[in-house]
Structure 1
Amino acid sequence: MEKKIYILTLLITLCLTTSVFSQEETTNPNPSISEQFDIAYDKANNYQDYKVIKKSVFLSLKKNTQDSLTTLKRTLKEKLAILDKNDEETNLLKNEITTLKSELEIVNNEKKSVSFFGTLISKTTYAFIMWGIVIVLALLLGVFIYKFRNSNSITSESRKALEILEAEYEEHRRNSIEREQKVRRQLQDEINKNRESKK
């Protein structure tokens, strides 16, 4: 009878153990490391205050932990490589932005300035210079026109004076010729009178 109880107890224990193992295996086919530690702890036998783990469970847990660490390291390296690549791209973009800003500043300065005799000067200064030149040229033109009109009026007055002088000279010459002719006639008349009186 004792044998029967022992066999019956053994069968019940065996059935319960297989059902527990089958439940654990079917619940999660890929348990996390933390869950694997929990499973190993649950499967471990008690010895005084200690838990005794089977070598196969320990080795499986060790292998899974190492695989997880390797995967994590690989993932970390990939993420770090992506971060480095992103940092490089960010630095390149920052350099491009700096270059574009300096080029934009150069273009804006060129827009705001004009090349004048090979020198870049601001448009405001250029406008002042150009308006200064225009004003100086206008003043010179005004002075030139004033002098021209002044000399033109002097010339016309001189011409009028010359015409008057020429007219007076012509009048004087005619008068002189007439006087000379009168004097010659008188002289001729006197000569003729003297000849007649000598005869």
Structure 2
Amino acid sequence: MRKKTLVLLYIFLMLGAILLAQETTETGNTLDDQFTDVIDNSNRYQDYKVVKIYKLNALKKSVMDSLAAIEKDLNTAQDTIAAKDNTIGGLSANLKSTQDELAVSREKENGISLFGILLTKSTYNTIMWSSIGLLLLLLVVTVVRFRQSNAVTRESKLKLAEVEEEYEDYRQRTLDREQQLRRKLQDEINKQKKN
């Protein structure tokens, strides 16, 4: 059992030495130097090394101090990583919102709002030129119809004037005839009275 304990202790110490070889102790020696010192300055008993307990305790203290320092560094590194992750998350959210704003800005830049609807410039141009074309077509149709109606109205006015003139002539002739007939009648009445 003693052999197993010493072997396990030796393995533990070697692993600790490998992991923490560069760590220094209170005296300024590295763990690797301390392991070498413990091994070199320990006595031999048959195939075993006999290590003095105070050296083992000092080595254990150095290993524990080194582990505590590494754990502290690890915690600091984890805190730094967490802070950087938070910063990255914030920057990613900021980037996303900036990209969204850029997309909206580009959409507005490449579009025109018509009656509250955002249209692309080509669609807007198509609608506007179609509207202008339709209005011009309506204007041409209105002008043509106006001219036709105006021509018909002029013709009708001319015909009305001719008819009114003919009617006036007819009325004048009728009045003249009537007056002649009355005269003739009066003359006949006067002749009849004299007879």
Q: TM-score, normalization: structure 2?
A: 0.71
Q: Distance in 2 between matches of 1:193 and 1:84?
A: 144
**1:51-66 → structure 2 map (5 Å cutoff):** 51-66=49-64
Tell me by how many angstroms 1:143 deviates.
1.4
**1:1-199 → structure 2 map (5 Å cutoff):** 29-45=27-43, 51-116=49-114, 119-196=117-194, 198=195
Tell me by how many angstroms 1:36 deviates.
2.0
Larger Rg: 1
Tell me by how many angstroms 1:82 deviates.
1.2
Aligned residues with identical type, % of pairs? 36
Moved more, 92-101 or 66-75: 92-101
Q: Distance in 2 between matches of 1:195 and 1:88?
A: 139
Tell me by how many angstroms 1:173 deviates.
1.5
Q: Distance in 1 between matches of 2:144 and 2:77?
A: 87
Tell me by how many angstroms 1:75 deviates.
0.7
The residue matched to 1:146 in structure 2 has which SS? helix
Moved more, 141-150 or 99-108: 99-108
Residue correspondences, number: 169
Answer 1 or 2: which has greater helix percent. Answer: 1
Q: Distance in 2 between matches of 1:186 and 1:69?
A: 156
Q: Distance in 2 between matches of 1:188 and 1:69?
A: 157
Q: TM-score, normalization: structure 1?
A: 0.70
Residue-by-residue CA offset, 1:101-154 (whole Å, 9 max, x unaligned):
234334433444455555544343233223222222222222122111211111
Structure 2 counterpart of 1:133, one-letter code: S
Q: Distance in 2 between matches of 1:174 and 1:86?
A: 115
Q: Distance in 2 between matches of 1:42 and 1:181?
A: 169
Tell me by how many angstroms 1:162 deviates.
1.1
The residue matched to 2:154 in structure 1 has which SS? helix
Q: Distance in 2 between matches of 1:171 and 1:73?
A: 130
Structure 1 alignment gaps of length 5 or more: 1-27
Q: Distance in 2 between matches of 1:192 and 1:79?
A: 149
